[in-house]
Structure 1
Amino acid sequence: MSAARRPGACPLAACGGLLLQSGRGDPDAFAQLYDVTCGPVYRLAVSLVGEANADEVLVQAYVEAWRTAPRFDPAQGTALAWLLRHVQRVAGEQFSGEVA
């Protein structure tokens, strides 16, 4: 049983390992990462671009995260922070100038 599924374990604590596995091409690890992080990632997207555009930002941020997962370095910060930076970048690129 993975740390993300162990009772009493903090699911976010497993994100770094899941993102590292994703970087090695493991789609199941990426699916687990999505399950654990989609709540905070979506909430940030809503706060940045509003509910009407949040899904688009969420999808694009996870696509970029999958594509760039091999570059994740846990020494530089947490996996959740890394994902949230993707959301901020996508929101800024796609919706700069629009108010949430």
Structure 2
Amino acid sequence: MRGLRARARADDPERALALAFAAGGEAALRGVYDRWSGLVHAYCLRSMASRADAEETTAQVFVDAWRSRKKFDPDRGTLPGWLLGIARHRVADAHAAAARDRAVREAVAELRPEEEPPTQEQLLDRLLLADALATLNPEQRRAVGLAFYDGLTHEQVAVTMGVPLGTAKSHIRRGLAVLRRRLEVDGAAPR
């Protein structure tokens, strides 16, 4: 009985193709693709979001199978079963990657401000202000920045800078005076 089963398996064209594939015959790769690509593609198509993704995954399954053909053991299972196992892993990887991409897109969307993009005039005002801020001495620039950009009170500016309250107020007042003069010269100061 055992000899009969071994002879039947040796006469099986699918088993012969699987053995040739495992041995590395390039013609066998074409035969395996022709024979089972429809099965793999149908599985991928049912599991994937788009036809293009299914086609790409199908191709990748056969590339992976060819690269790891030495791991295939025809005595442990069938070649179509092994190919579908590779396809299941590829599909799972694709779903995981899509979930990661979706999470990143959602996180980025949450970081984006809901406001409209600045107009050219607003951008120009920001550039003029940045240029005017650059003319302040470092203490004034820091004090003005802490007070107006960070929204700190005069007391908080003094503590943050490690200076007396009167010094912090002076830095802010003098810095604003320099900014006003500079912006008035440029014609950008509010009236």
The residue aligned with 2:58 is: 58
Pair member with larger Rg:
2
The residue aligned with 2:33 is: 34
The residue aligned with 2:85 is: 85
Greater relative CO, 1 or 2 (CA 8 Å, sep 6+): 1
RMSD of aligned alpha carbons: 1.9
The residue aligned with 2:67 is: 67
Take 1:16 and 1:82, find their aligned partners in 2: how far apart are those partners? 13
CA spacing shift, 1:14–1:98, aligned 2, 3 Å: farther
SS in 1 for 2:24: coil
The residue aligned with 2:108 is: none
The residue aligned with 1:4 is: none
Displacement of 1:98 in angstroms is: 5.0
Q: For 1:70, give the aligned amino acid.
A: K
SS in 1 for 2:28: helix
Structure 2: gaps spanning 5 or more residues: 1-11, 100-191
Structure 1: gaps spanning 5 or more residues: 1-12
SS in 2 for 1:75: coil
| Count of residues in correspondence between the two structures | 87
Runs of 4 or more consecutive aligned structure 1 residues displaced over 6 Å after TM superposition: none
The residue aligned with 1:15 is: 14
Contact 1:45 1:58 in 2 (8 A): yes
The alignment-based identity, stated in percent, is 28
Worse-superposed segment, 55-64 or 21-30: 21-30
Take 1:27 and 1:97, find their aligned partners in 2: how far apart are those partners? 31
